[in-house]
A = this chain, B = another copy of it.
Amino acid sequence: MSVLRLKLPTDPRWVNLAEKSLEDILTDHAYCEQKAASTCISLIQQYPDKTKLVDELSPIVTEEWGHFRMVLRELKKRNLKLGRQRKDEYVNHLLKFHRKGISQEEKLLDKLLMAGLIEARSCERFKLLWQGIGDEELSEFYYKLMVAEAAHYTLFLELARTYFDADIVHTRWREWLDYEEQIMENLTPRGDRMH
């Protein structure tokens, strides 16, 4: 938690809720991985001239999509079905925090920080699932994902520092952390959602 700098830890009872709605939580998780892959694709499309960004995010797309396929396998093993994608309130709230009226170049900072923040929160949630879920195989699965997401979180912040001044990144990152804390305070924890 302290490493990830998130301000509000998830209520540990969330794991018990999640465990009771495995089909829903795995479905939601699958789409989180899909959104992570799609976000990296979209960053590459928007900033093809930023070589480091393109080089670093291209393999992440493969990795995130690999996670999507791993979640599909976990569903199948348990005779559960991939459900429909639902509105992602957490992400929709985060999107409102992007600054408007700035150039496409400047917008990159918020895009990278938001991506990093989602990875950090996912990492925190995976840790809870790893430690708290009864299904041993799933627990191990979440351990692996926790490690992967922590690396992605680091990468997004590193990319932010590549293209923006360290001070600017630091200040804006603190604003994002404060904003995320408010979102988490107001979102009812749901066992059928990753966030």
Query: In the complex, A62→B61 CA distance in Å?
Result: 9
Whether the Cβ atoms of A58 and B69 lie closer than 8 Å is yes
Query: In the complex, A44→B72 CA distance in Å?
Result: 12
Task: Tell whether A66 is near chain B: CB-to-CB under 8 Å.
Answer: yes
Task: Tell whether A77 is near chain B: CB-to-CB under 8 Å.
Answer: no
Whether the Cβ atoms of B48 and A82 lie closer than 8 Å is yes
Whether the Cβ atoms of A54 and B34 lie closer than 8 Å is no
Task: Tell whether A81 is near chain B: CB-to-CB under 8 Å.
Answer: yes
Whether the Cβ atoms of A59 and B54 lie closer than 8 Å is no
Task: Tell whether A65 is near chain B: CB-to-CB under 8 Å.
Answer: yes
Give the Cβ gap from A163 to chain B, nearest Cβ, in Å.
17
Give the Cβ gap from A34 to chain B, nearest Cβ, in Å.
6
Residues in A lying within 8 Å of B, measured CB to CB? 27, 31, 34, 37-38, 41, 44-45, 48-49, 51, 54-55, 58-59, 61-62, 65-66, 68-69, 72, 81-85
